[in-house]
């Protein structure tokens, strides 16, 4: 047995073990991209670098064998800087979107592609769940949104944008029809209570998310009914009050209490601070007089807050929405409401809420890339409600519109190790950005899709295919910085992996290799096949 120190902690390992394995035994997570259990060390990514015995150079922990008395530094500032630089170099030519452009543009950052997948598959409860992870008022916002997400839709530059707002409206209406049966379960009661002053878009959103976390929530508003400017500044012809009422009632059904026709002044603010663990101001646009009446500082065009915590200068008092930054868009208030709910939740638990700012973006595609990108996407026409914004899509039309999505997002984001380490080390994705790789998609394989632009040449798929004695397998093509993974003899990718396709997908540290959406052999099919879409399209009346 061999004894060594990692970050000052002793560990005992069998001879021949690696530093990476020794660290894992201590519960120290050294990041890796090119390591996979059962494969020889590839040492291509350098992300697992550590310093040994105070040496001048860092070495890959995945290939460094432990030695008696070895002293390893795995988390110093120097090591972190080295890993960060290694990740940024990898991202320098990466051609892939972590999230779809539509989601990036949406102020609430709703997972639009996931919603569209659920609608396309007929999973209405899943669609409602996805939408309400960011927007608790989808039927309302689906009628009044300025369609910012559609301006970001990549398909808009190809033919016509996906009717995202119309589909969101459809999903919201289905959520209303389902009532309490589609409501998520709230977390265990925290014993904490939050008072929200103002029942508009930001206040209702914050109430929803704080209640989901298990906190008691009480909304106070001077009006007779909640909704704020959505109710009082938007006409019935655009936003039927029955829709707004139904969605606010669902928030109430979650256990949120409402005290309407109640004006909060300075005296009542003091009482709320005594009786509640936190107070949130979402009263819409304020002036100096209103701010002074609530006991908070006014600066610029709204209440002064710490932008990281959303706290005012008054203990336990937070502010968000139009009270901080006036906006004509309800979706921006909804986005603010979710953010401030996260900040309050962290405050109530004595935590610091950290922001995740990393995202890889492919940017604008050339005409040739666009043609390749949408080559396998149904070429059906854009669907819009026949009765305008007041009405919603039919079931058939909603499915058809969802099928028009090109799914720009990374389908493996939840398991993408490159995204995980980039987030962990707070990298700058554009630090070493040169000319990105050209977008290509190899989809001739019956199970796997390959996007070379996302490949980091880790070598795992090559090793797995070789170990399984694949007839063709995969190999490295090119030299130096131009090296990439391809099929030997320029053969078709569809013939490359006959035995270990799924194993290669599982090992791939990015979204370069992934399962097809329309694989008929899969029991978890994630995409309606084109023949089905065509058949449904022909059944539309008129």
Residues composing the chain: 542
Region of 214 (left: φ > 0; alpha: ψ -120 to 50; beta: rest) is left
Looking at residue 520, its pLDDT comes to 40
Q: What is the mean pLDDT of each run of 10 residues along the chain (542 residues)?
A: 96 96 97 95 95 94 97 96 96 93 95 96 96 96 92 94 95 96 95 97 98 98 96 93 97 97 94 97 94 93 94 96 93 96 95 75 94 91 76 91 95 94 92 88 93 94 96 89 86 93 97 78 38 33 26
Helix (H, G, I), strand (E, B) or coil at 444: coil
**Domain span(s) for CATH 3.10.20.740 in the chain:** 2-90
What is the pTM (predicted TM-score) of this model? 0.89
Helix (H, G, I), strand (E, B) or coil at 270: helix
Looking at residue 433, its pLDDT comes to 83
Q: Among all chains, which residue has been given the structure tokens 């019935």?
A: 236
**Domain span(s) for CATH 1.10.1060.10 in the chain:** 101-180+358-403
Q: b or e along 274-300 (b: 16 or more beta carbons within 10 Å of the residue's beta carbon)?
A: eebbbbbbbbbebeeebbeebbbebee
CB 494, CB 444: distance < 8 Å: yes
Looking at residue 355, its pLDDT comes to 66
CB 210, CB 295: distance < 8 Å: no
CATH tag for 2-90 (out of 3.30.230.10, 3.40.50.1370, 2.30.110.10, 3.10.20.740) = 3.10.20.740
**Domain span(s) for CATH 3.30.70.20 in the chain:** 437-542
Q: Calculate the alpha carbon distances from 478 to 488, 489, 513 in Å.
A: 12, 13, 19
Calpha distance 135→208 (Å, rounded): 9
Looking at residue 352, its pLDDT comes to 73
Beta strands in 393-512 (DSSP E): 448-450, 475-477, 484-486
Homologous superfamily of the 185-348 domain (CATH): FAD/NAD(P)-binding domain (3.50.50.60)
Q: DSSP string spanning 172-206?
A: HHHHHHHGGGGPPPPPPP-S-EEEEE--SHHHHHH
Task: Give Cβ neighbours of residue 533 (< 8 Å, ≥ 6 apart).
Answer: 378, 380, 399, 400, 403
CA contacts within 13 A on the Cβ side of 348: 27
Phi, psi of 165 (to 5 degrees): -65, -35
Calpha distance 49→372 (Å, rounded): 38
The CATH classification number of 437-542 equals 3.30.70.20
Calpha distance 43→286 (Å, rounded): 58
CB 59, CB 52: distance < 8 Å: yes
| Contacts made by residues 251-255, CB under 8 angstroms, sequence distance 24+ | 251/136, 251/204, 251/207, 251/208, 251/211, 253/179, 253/180, 253/183, 254/183, 254/186, 254/208, 254/211, 254/212, 255/186, 255/211, 255/216, 255/217
Q: Which CATH class is domain 101-180+358-403?
A: mainly alpha
Phi, psi of 57 (to 5 degrees): -110, 150
Could you tell me which residues are beta bridge partners of residue 60? Answer: 49
Of 519, 540, 541, 515, nearest to 528 by C-alpha is 519
């Amino acid at each position: 047995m061999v004894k060594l120190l990692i970050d000052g902690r002793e560990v005992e390992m069998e001879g021949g073990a690696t530093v990476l394995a020794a660290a894992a035994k201590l519960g120290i997570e050294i990041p890796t991209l090119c390591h996979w259990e059962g494969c020889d060390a590839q040492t291509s990514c350098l992300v697992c670098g550590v310093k040994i015995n105070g040496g001048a150079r860092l070495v890959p922990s995945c290939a460094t064998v432990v030695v008696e008395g070895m002293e390893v530094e795995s988390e110093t500032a120097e090591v972190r800087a080295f890993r960060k630089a290694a990740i940024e170099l990898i991202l320098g030519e990466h051609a892939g979107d972590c999230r779809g452009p539509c989601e990036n543009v949406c102020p609430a950052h709703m997972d639009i592609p996931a919603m569209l997948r659920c609608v396309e598959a007929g999973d209405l409860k899943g669609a409602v769940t996805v939408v309400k992870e960011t927007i608790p008022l989808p039927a309302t916002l689906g009628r009044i949104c300025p369609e910012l997400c559609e301006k970001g839709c990549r398909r808009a530059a190809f033919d016509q944008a996906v009717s995202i707002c119309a589909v969101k409206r459809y999903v919201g209406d289905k959520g209303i029809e389902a009532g309490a049966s589609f409501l998520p379960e709230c977390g265990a009661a925290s014993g904490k209570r939050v008072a929200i002053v103002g029942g508009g878009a930001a206040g209702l959103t914050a109430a929803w998310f704080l209640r989901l976390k298990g906190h008691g929530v009480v909304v106070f508003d001077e009006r007779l009914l909640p909704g704020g400017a959505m109710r009082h500044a938007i006409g019935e012809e655009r936003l039927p009050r029955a829709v707004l009422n139904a969605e606010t009632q669902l928030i109430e059904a979650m256990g949120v209490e409402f005290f309407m026709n109640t004006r909060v002044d300075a005296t009542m603010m003091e009482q709320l601070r005594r009786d509640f663990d936190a107070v949130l101001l979402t009263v819409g646009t304020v002036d100096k007089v209103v701010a002074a009446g609530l006991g908070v500082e006014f600066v610029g065009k709204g209440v002064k807050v710490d932008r990281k915590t959303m706290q005012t200068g008054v203990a336990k008092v937070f502010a968000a929405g139009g009270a901080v930054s006036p906006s004509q868009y309800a979706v921006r208030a909804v986005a603010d409401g979710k953010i401030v709910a996260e900040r309050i939740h962290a405050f109530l638990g004595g935590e610091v809420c950290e922001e995740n700012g990393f995202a890889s973006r492919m940017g604008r595609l050339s005409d040739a890339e666009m043609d390749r990108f949408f080559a396998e996407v149904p070429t059906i026409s854009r669907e819009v409600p026949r009765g305008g914004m007041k009405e919603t899509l039919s079931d058939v039309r909603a499915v058809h519109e969802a099928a028009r999505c090109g799914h720009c997002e990374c389908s493996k984001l939840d398991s993408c190790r490159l995204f995980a380490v980039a987030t962990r080390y707070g990298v700058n994705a554009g630090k070493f950005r040169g000319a990105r790789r050209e977008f290509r998609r190899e989809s001739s394989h019956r199970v796997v899709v390959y996007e070379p632009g996302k490949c980091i040449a880790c070598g795992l798929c090559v090793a797995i295919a070789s170990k399984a004695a694949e007839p063709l397998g995969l190999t490295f093509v090119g030299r130096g910085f131009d090296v990439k993974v391809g099929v030997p003899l320029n053969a078709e990718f569809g013939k490359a992996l006959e035995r270990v396709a799924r194993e290669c997908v599982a090992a791939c540290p990015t979204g370069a290799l992934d399962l097809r959406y329309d694989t008929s052999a899969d029991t978890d099919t994630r995409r309606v096949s084109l023949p089905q879409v065509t058949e449904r399209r022909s059944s539309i009346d008129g």
